[in-house]
Every structure is written in C-alpha cells, then in structure tokens.
C-alpha cells in the first residue's frame, strides 16, 4: 500500500491516507523519528503536488518566470557585451596600428626636419654668398676703369701655371698706381683701397681685364677676377680667386687645351688651396664654340667681366671628363691613391675610368693597386687592368695583363665605390 501525508497535527501525528482505498492511517512521531512501514510513502509537511494551493502554484510560477527573465536578461546582456567585445578588440588593434603608423610618420618627420635643417643651412650659406656677390656687383657698377701703372701691372699679371695669379702688391699708400681711363686723373693706392677697380691691360700679347680690390693693408681681398682674350677677341682664360686679407682661400679657373684624342676641350676647375697643394675637382667639356668679347679696352664695363659661374651658363658642349683629386704646379698631381679620372665620349658614355695616383697629369702609380677600364670601340668591349702604371701606360707582367671584362664584372669592381659623376657604360 502507498500512503501519502495528508495532514500533520500539532501533536506531531501524521495522518496518512491510502490513495487506492482512501484508508486513513495515523503515525506518531516520537523522539524526532517517524515509524512507518516500508510501503508507506511520506511527503514532508503533508504537501502533495496534487494538493498544492493555487496561490502557492502562482508563487512558484512567478519565481520560475522571474528566474527565466533574469536568465534571459543575463544572456541578452552577455550577448550584447560579447557582440561589443569583437569590435572593441578590432578598435584596439586599429589604435595600435594607427599608433605604429603615427610613430613611423613622426620618425619620417624627424628625418625630414633634419634634412630640412641641413637644407636651411645650405640656403643660408648660399644667401650669404649671394649677398656677398650682390654687394660686389653693386660696387662693381661704380668701379673705376683704370689705366695701370707698372707697379700695378706687376701685381695682376697672370701666371697660368700657378693659382697664385696675383702677386702681393708692392706699393705704398702714397704711390701712384693708376689713372682714370676717361679723365686721366691719377690715383694713389690710398685712393683705391677697399674699392672695386676694373683694369684693362696687355698680358703677353693678349687683352687682359682685372676686376677686384685690395684692402688698407695693401692685401688682395674678396673676389678677384681676370679675363684673357686673344688677338681675335676670343676668350682664352678666366681666373677667379677668393682672398681673405692676402690669403688665397679658393679659386676657379677656365681654360682650354687639346686632349689625347687631339680634340679641343674647355677646362673648368674648382679648388681649395692647402699650401702648395690644391684639392677639388675639374670638369672638361667638348669645345664647340668660342666666347668672343663684345667690348674693347675703351668700352669695357664691370658687367662685361665673365665669372666662372657665368661661363658654365654659357657653355653648351657635352662633358668630356671629370677629375677628382689634388693638383700642383698646374697639373694633376696626387699621391694619395684616392684620385680618379673619368673620360666620356660625346654621348657621355665612359671611355676610360682610372683610379690611382697621378704625376704631372699622367697615370703614374707603382703601388700595384691602381686600375682602369678602357673601352675598345673596335670590339665593343671594355678592357681591364690592375697593377702598376707609368706615364699613362699599364705595366704588364706575366701575372698582370690587360683583359676583356664584362659589364657585370665591372659593376662588381665598382661596388661600394663612390664617384661624383655618372659612370654610364657602353651596352653591348
């Protein structure tokens, strides 16, 4: 038989009812224990699921609904949060990427600022030079055209074999050194100190024009130029020196000569003086025209004097060569082993590239470390030699001989070396 608790009395008696035949059984609780048969089912507090009150059921349902709603709200909130975590992570990654890009941009900006600072310094130096030149040109318009006396001619006579083209002035302040070309007025040295003067004169049969100045100490100072023209009024030389109280700091020079191929070329050099040695670079250009004077000694003005910068604007011939290294006594003389010479054809393709020492304008290096490449036009290939050179010629031995070389091999030889001008090779 199965019994369920119907009711618990105050005396701790349990009223049991047989579900099959409605038989009621009383069981008493003693000492906290309920004694019943094994076939009696006890439901605590006498509450049977079938006998729960409607109110209690509603409460349970409300509790369940509350829990369901709470769980649903939790799941919705979690879904919302989880849905937002993904975009948030993407945003974080985006911020990191943006930060990296910003840092890179900052780095690039820093580099650009450094480069700009360097450019500004260069511009400042250029402006200073331009201001100096402008001042010189301003003064030049008022330059006195002077007929030189013997003592002045001795100071400005040209020696093309040396950069010291101006001799130290050998006159006193009270000495007459020139007179006005137009009025005949005589000038003492003290009258012309710190003033630009334009002096036409004869130098070894050529028309020479000096434009410069000397200071109160009778020292050449600032930019001093000399232009030379032959009897046919063709420009033959420009010499331009920058002096500081008698000391030659740097110079530029223009001339022309026949190269080894018997072709006339213009020679344009830019150098700094270091004692008897001058260091810098020399450009040569194929001479395809002459610069003729449009003035005479009687009509010349300061604006007619050509600077090296003016000449480079006027020249139109292709580059014939480039030399980097030292000069001495008017020729390529370099014993450092760091000098080099590049020769071009009229298409600016390399005819010869030599790296090594020079003596009196020739390849001369007995160290065994000098080398050159030379283009063999007949066979459309380059020849390479490394070893000793004497008077422009390679000294061949059983272990050092001239040999054909490929373009790739030439590029390997030149790898890591820097040249100030282009090294464009003939392609086969």
Overall average pLDDT of the 150-163 stretch = 74
Overall average pLDDT of the 323-348 stretch = 94
Find where tokens 């100096």 sit: 132
Distances (CA, A) of 191 to 146, 186, 195: 12, 9, 8
What is the pLDDT, as a whole number, of residue 163? Answer: 53
Residue 223 tokens read as 């930019």
Low-confidence winner among 45-49, 234-238, 298-302 (lowest mean pLDDT)? 45-49
Task: Tell me the C-alpha distance between 269 and 299, whole Å.
Answer: 29
Overall average pLDDT of the 156-173 stretch = 74
**Host H or E run for residue 88:** helix 54-140
What's the distance, CA 244 to chain centroid? 31
- pTM strictly above 0.75: no
Terminal alpha carbon distance of the chain: 117
| Residue closest to 224 by CA, chosen among 208, 211, 214, 238 | 211
Residue 47 tokens read as 């509450």
* Mean pLDDT over the full length of the chain: 81
pLDDT in tens, 205-243: 899 999 999 999 999 999 999 999 999 999 999 999 999
pLDDT in tens, 360-381: 999 999 999 999 999 999 999 9
For residues 387 and 395, the answer to whether their CB atoms sit within 8 Å is yes
Residue 136 tokens read as 């010189």
Residue 176 pairs in a beta bridge with 188
What is the pLDDT, as a whole number, of residue 46? Answer: 45
pLDDT in tens, 241-271: 999 999 989 999 999 999 888 999 999 999 9
- Give the number of C-alpha atoms closer than 13 A to the C-alpha of residue 336, restricted to the C-beta side: 12
For residues 359 and 368, the answer to whether their CB atoms sit within 8 Å is no
Return the DSSP state at 406: -
Low-confidence winner among 58-67, 124-133, 273-282 (lowest mean pLDDT)? 124-133
Task: Tell me the C-alpha distance between 334 and 369, whole Å.
Answer: 14
For residues 341 and 352, the answer to whether their CB atoms sit within 8 Å is yes
For residue 390, how many other CB atoms are within 10 A of its CB?
13
Task: Tell me the C-alpha distance between 65 and 102, whole Å.
Answer: 54
For residue 57, how many other CB atoms are within 10 A of its CB?
11
| 140 pLDDT more than 50 | no
Residue 372 tokens read as 């050159």
Task: Tell me the C-alpha distance between 428 and 423, whole Å.
Answer: 16
What is the pLDDT, as a whole number, of residue 275? Answer: 78
Distances (CA, A) of 316 to 50, 65, 258: 118, 99, 18
Confidence of residue 170 (pLDDT cuts 50, 70, 90): confident
For 277-302, give the DSSP string. EEEEEEEEEE-----B-S--TTT--G
- Give the number of C-alpha atoms closer than 13 A to the C-alpha of residue 317, restricted to the C-beta side: 22
Residue 63: burial class (beta carbons within 10 Å; 0-12, 13-18, 19+) = exposed
pLDDT in tens, 3-19: 444 444 444 455 555 55
Phi/psi at 86 (5° precision): -60, -55
Q: Beta strand 144-148 with 197-203: parallel, antiparallel or unpaired?
A: parallel
For residue 295, how many other CB atoms are within 10 A of its CB?
16
Task: Tell me the C-alpha distance between 165 and 211, whole Å.
Answer: 13
What is the pLDDT, as a whole number, of residue 123? Answer: 61
pLDDT in tens, 70-109: 666 666 665 666 666 666 566 667 667 767 767 766 766 7
For residues 253 and 306, the answer to whether their CB atoms sit within 8 Å is no
| Residue closest to 259 by CA, chosen among 392, 121, 77 | 392
What's the distance, CA 44 to chain centroid? 95
For residues 326 and 339, the answer to whether their CB atoms sit within 8 Å is yes
Phi/psi at 288 (5° precision): -110, 0
What is the pLDDT, as a whole number, of residue 277? Answer: 87
In terms of phi and psi (left: phi > 0; alpha: psi -120 to 50; beta: otherwise), the region of 391 is left
For residues 227 and 305, the answer to whether their CB atoms sit within 8 Å is yes
| 130 pLDDT more than 60 | no
For residue 419, how many other CB atoms are within 10 A of its CB?
13
């Amino acid at each position: 038989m199965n019994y369920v608790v119907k009711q618990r009395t105050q005396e701790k008696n349990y009223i049991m009812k047989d579900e099959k035949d409605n038989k009621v059984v009383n069981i008493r609780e003693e000492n906290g224990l309920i004694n019943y048969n094994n076939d009696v089912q006890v439901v605590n507090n006498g509450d049977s699921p079938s006998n729960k009150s409607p109110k209690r059921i509603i409460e349970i349902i409300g509790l369940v609904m509350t829990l369901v709603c709470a769980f649903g709200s939790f799941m919705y909130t979690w879904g919302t949060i989880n849905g937002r975590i993904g975009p948030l992570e993407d945003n974080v990654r985006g911020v990191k990427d943006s930060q990296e890009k910003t840092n890179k941009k900052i780095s690039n900006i820093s580099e650009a600022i450094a480069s700009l600072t360097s450019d500004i310094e260069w511009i400042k130096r250029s402006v200073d030079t331009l201001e100096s030149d402008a001042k010189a040109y301003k003064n030049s318009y008022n330059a006195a055209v002077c007929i030189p006396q013997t003592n002045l001619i001795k100071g400005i006579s040209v020696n093309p074999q040396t950069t010291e083209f101006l001799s130290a002035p050998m006159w006193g302040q009270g000495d007459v050194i020139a007179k006005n070309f137009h009025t005949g007025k005589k000038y003492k040295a003290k009258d012309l100190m710190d003033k630009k003067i334009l002096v036409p004169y004869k130098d070894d049969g050529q028309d020479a024009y000096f434009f410069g100045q000397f200071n109160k100490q009778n020292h050449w100072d600032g930019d001093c130029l000399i232009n030379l023209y032959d009897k046919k009024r063709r420009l033959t030389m420009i010499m331009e020196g920058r002096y500081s109280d008698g000391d030659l700091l740097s110079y530029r020079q223009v001339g022309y000569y026949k190269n080894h191929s018997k072709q006339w070329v213009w020679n344009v050099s830019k150098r700094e003086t270091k004692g008897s040695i001058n260091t810098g670079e020399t450009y040569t250009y194929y001479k395809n025209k002459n610069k003729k004077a449009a003035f005479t000694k009687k009509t010349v003005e300061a604006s007619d004097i050509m600077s090296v910068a003016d000449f480079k604007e006027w020249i139109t011939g292709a580059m014939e060569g480039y030399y980097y290294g030292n000069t001495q006594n008017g020729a390529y003389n370099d014993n450092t082993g760091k000098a080099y010479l590049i020769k071009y054809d009229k298409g600016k393709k390399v005819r010869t590239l030599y790296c090594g020492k020079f003596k009196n304008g020739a390849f001369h290096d007995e160290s065994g470390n000098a080398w050159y490449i030379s283009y063999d036009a007949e066979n459309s290939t380059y020849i390479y030699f490394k070893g000793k050179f004497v008077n422009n010629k390679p000294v061949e031995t059983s272990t050092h001989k001239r040999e054909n070389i490929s373009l790739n091999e030439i590029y390997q030889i030149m790898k890591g070396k820097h040249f100030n001008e282009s090294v464009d090779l003939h392609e086969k």
